[in-house]
A and B are shown apart, each in its own frame.
Chain A
Amino acid sequence: MSTDIEARLRNALAARADLVRPEDLQPLAPVVELRPRWQSPRVLLATAAVVLLVLGVVLQGLRGEERSDRIAPKPDDRVELQLPTDVGRDWKADEYSTPRRLDLDGDGTKEEVTFLSEKTKSGAGRARIEATLSSTGEETYGIVDLSSNVVVSSLPPIDADDDGDQELVLYDGDVTGPESPLHPIVLDLRDGLLVEAVVDQPELLQMGNVPVPGSETPYYELVRSHGYEVRRGTLYSSRSVSSLASTGMTVIRPEELVRDTWRWVLDDDGVLRPVEDGCVLELITGEWEPCAEGARDALPALSRPATGTIGVGEQFSWTEGYQYDARLEAEADPVLVVEGADGRTINHPLEVADPVVSTTQPTSIFYDGASFVVGSASDPAYVQVLWQDADRLRVLQPVGEVPLTNDDTHRTWLTEEGRLWTVVAGDDGTWRAWSWTMATRSEMTALPAGTVCFDDVDDPSTARDC
């Protein structure tokens, strides 16, 4: 250790501190107000108020949170960290397990961390994380159990304990199913070993759609969208404030979603703890913006109805995805004729005499082939959805809580984006929006997507917040 650097530091700190002179400080007027000794709680409160009002400082801690410097460690709070055993030197690195470079020992030089995977039949198993520390030349290692250790992936490093060195963050979780949230693993260099941090409140540190207990219905359930990511060297997690309807792999998500966030800090005991970090508005692009006052999720995207239709004797072409031409021919019953770009031709008799078929495909329901929303020119209550199953069109029967119709208390329309909506009137002038999705090969169901008000319910563009 250089004594020169210590001397230079000492002199520089003194010189910098001395630049702050008494006359540079704000006037000491509050001292006059504070002069009386505190002799009673009332005087004490008045004094505190004067400090705050005169100096204009922000009162910290009114919420009754205990200051970190006032909290004594409790024996029960201590956790046992699992030290890694020295195994796996002969395990192999998968070619897709990219080494990560980070400064494990805080000396300003990045170490290269490599990942060696234990070979198992299931693909789940242990991985050895190893590196040579630049500060000492000694080898360090850690062992983690992963749901899938074939390819070990890491996030950008973090410094969750603000001590100048970096912690390694690995992805973990069963990636084979959407119902299985992912969890990060954080490894910190402690006593020369890479030790896995214990996560306090792990339910706040996961990625995926997590069901809300008790919300399950026969056709959907409510979930909260969780996520985590590293931003500028800090691990953040987030959770949607609202619950979102979900079925299968479909989640009804507003284009702007309010999320609560947490910043994760690593304490001296090796415990990763969440610190509330306020709310953000997540845009459709995934970017975060700070919440404005009263921030809410975006309204459901109801406002651009698809207006194009064809009647008997007319046709249209669909040129996105599976391409096809469709026309309505008049026979004993009108027939919807579909000619796919792959050479298939389907003739589907319709059950109404005056059909109108939307020229927009209901892609939110089905897009791996042709699909249609069929109405009746004379009966606005009639709405039917067809989808292509190989060489035929099949009807999707509506099931669940909402009828597929138009009447006094229901309005149904398709948007230009291909989403089919039904709004249902409430008793208080509000309308609850439901988005249709395919439930089975013969059924479709509507998922709740929020509540809106209309200036004119027959004009979806007038949808607004209530």
Chain B
Amino acid sequence: MESAEAVDITELYAAHRLSLVRLAVLLVDDVASAEDVVQDAFAALARRPGAVKDPSKALVYLRVSVVNASRSTLRRRRTARAYSPPHGTPPPTPEDSAVLAEEHREVIVALHGLAPRQREVLVLRYWSNLSETEIASALQISQGTVKSTASRALVALERAMSSGKEQR
């Protein structure tokens, strides 16, 4: 049945909330913001049931919403910092990454030094395991851009990690 009623937000919420929060936390790096991002995504879906008529596509819609909302969160965070006096607002700390193994922590720290789109492409590719086509669709960019962004992002990631080691 192709109707809005076919999409049960409660079931979606129960089934996918955790994975979407995990996706968001890889993009924004703190659980509270990640939860907000995911709630926003569900709230947006709740307001627009007609936007997703096919239940099988609801997760795709939510994933795109989470990526977009994460980017907005980072932008607001960046803007808020730009308006603040020096040292007025400490940058968000990846508190959870402190308990990561060192080898993982340095990757995550380097990842969050990348440009937002580079980070999104890497997370969607290496954690969400999406294809280039799916990533292109999610980010509204061409497959060629996905490929080149991923390639550059990996180079930049490796360099950032090397640089981090040298500084230590």
Contact = CB atoms under 8 A, between A and B. Distances in A.
Q: Do A and B assemble together? A: yes
A61 to B, nearest CB: 6
A268 B141 contact: yes
A58 B40 contact: yes
B75 to A, nearest CB: 8
Interface in A182-206: none
Q: Is the interface of B mostly helix, strand, loop or mixed?
A: helix
Interface in B140-168: 140-142, 145, 149, 151-160
Contact of B152 (A51, A107, A161): A107
A5 interface: yes
B9 A34 contact: yes
Interface stretch (A19-27, A83-91, A240-248): A19-27
B152 A105 contact: yes
B65 A163 contact: no
A38 B115 contact: no
Interface string B29-61: 001001110011011101101010000000001
A332 B112 CA distance: 84
Contacts of A47: 9, 46
B68 to A, nearest CB: 6
B161 to A, nearest CB: 8
Contacts of B157: 5, 9
Contact of B25 (A2, A17, A31, A159): A17
A60 B153 CA distance: 30
Interface residues of A, number: 62
Contact of A44 (B8, B49, B145): B49
Given A8-B107, A47-B46, A164-B118, A107 B145 contact: no
Contacts of A164: 114-115, 117-118, 149, 152-153, 156
Contacts of B107: 8-9, 12-13
A14 B127 contact: yes
A12 B104 contact: yes
A2 B154 contact: yes
Nearest to B116: A162
Given A12-B107, A20-B34, A268-B145, A31 B13 contact: yes
B43 A22 contact: no
A397 B48 CA distance: 66
B100 A61 contact: no
Interface of B: 4-5, 7-10, 13-14, 17-18, 21-23, 25-26, 31, 34-36, 39-40, 42-44, 46-47, 49, 51, 61, 64-65, 68-69, 71, 78-79, 82-83, 96-97, 99-101, 103-105, 107-108, 111, 114-118, 122-123, 126-127, 138, 140-142, 145, 149, 151-160
Interface of A: 1-2, 5-6, 8-20, 22, 24-26, 28, 30-31, 34-35, 37-39, 44, 47-48, 51-52, 55, 57-61, 67-70, 105-108, 135, 159, 161-165, 231-232, 268, 277, 288-290
List the 8 shortest-distance A-B pairs measured between CB atoms, nearest first: A164-B115, A12-B107, A17-B22, A12-B104, A13-B127, A48-B46, A69-B64, A164-B118
